[in-house]
Structure 1
């Protein structure tokens, strides 16, 4: 418990409380040593009154000044049934007694709050570490990991589906939808990871999300025993969507396996430049053309340009890449090179 009542915290409390209390305050640790005081010279010394208060578990009042202690009150500080220190106030016991109670309450609340925040931070770190492990564990799960997974309602001995949700908007409402299921949020990313035992829950969750965020993207891996594999599959589907600027909102790896794995396949020799180096205007035009299945009318409408402007841009793409977007195999190669970006 002493980690929650540090010298720095004790001195900070003393300094702040003495702005409103006209008496010198002392805070002692669980050994009775002064770690915070209105009299800096007393810091680091043993307070006999505090030692007695810790032994008896009761307030100790001193009515006369002595060499190593001054008159005042010393109240044990107990948090979660554990003694963490002593609050002492210098002065006539009858006068300072109410202030001692006040300071004790304030310090107790502050320590409990810090403990709660510390426990929450520890749990966040533990959850993040578990997530990192589970998303990279491709072999048989060790027993320790299986037991840890149970804390998050994940049963690794059963088949699961990994579902990734990338909202367009940031909202706490998503977590209301996810709450009935094991879910995680990738640190520093606007990406939620759900691990579902029932494949039928995927569509229900997706529809709930789209009711207030119709642009959210949902991607699902295959139903299987390995979380890392399912995560990889769903992640590749998201990558395909983002690189090709597709209009779809739902991606199932079972349906998108070919472009997903194509994006990871190196077809050409290293000397061949696989990725496209086109100006943003032409990249936008090409991805829109692919997204609309090579339909000029729909592409021009989506880009809000005249069809002749579209033809001009596609012609420029042909000049810059040597590939004609209107020819099937050329368009396939352009799509591949976009996926490799």
Structure 2
């Protein structure tokens, strides 16, 4: 049996040597990689938001041999003018180690990322496109404020795709970037103009506007004893996400205002776990607000962590309890799931517009 196996191995080895010799003798071509004629993108129109890191693509290689290289070529506007703005190279934050949400300091977070020079818009080795969060309205002109999609305002580009098996050109992809929206939810301003958004119930009344609306659970009014509501029809409580002056450049402040626009002491929200709410440090608690040192954007990356259970949003939630009839306790809370993409000093403000929340027991 062993002799048969040895004979078979010799035969196979002889065949390999003979085939190799034949290739040299008859000058047979080397085997090439396979590059399908059907490679394409599932989506050819990209509408990223400036100021955020946007991953886009949907490349279908149709079983083509890896590695494949990608190159953006012939970038032009619809009227033929060359496109250059999206290829400007600017300093860009890039993570070099995984962010987990378990970091204990800003220094530990910053040690996991560094600044590199990147073109604002790039194609990656996977075929995905990326618009980096370092983009701004000043660097890239957003789509027109009147919401039109004229060809002369649209950036077109082609993608050259290659491996050793050949080369293909995917033509006429488009990128139509929206202007910066520094935070989410952002229904309080118009995505095209950046101006305050009209009230959805009365869109032609210029005196009225839309607001970010929080969720509310068991929050009742101090005078009516009725559940407070925040929707298109009734806005008892609204949210502002806005910048403030006097911070350190990387702070986040959370506060609540009563119906007279006076700060409510955070101590009133006696069930709030302030030190577990935000992935921030050096918490300061005053009689007007609670403030953290944070790293931006928030969340830093779109992965599920303790501070961002859904991956793409953090949570600001204020809770309190009060006595109920029969000796029990009523737990009430309100909050908003949010993201902030632009570094700076920001505050999340819950404004009780019509009446104050009830804190006293029944």
TM-score range, shorter chain: under 0.3
Larger Rg, first or second structure (1 or 2):
1
- Relative to its length, the structure with more strand (as a share) is 2
Normalization by structure 2: what TM-score? 0.25
Question: Higher relative contact order by CA 8 Å / sep ≥ 6: 1 or 2?
Answer: 2
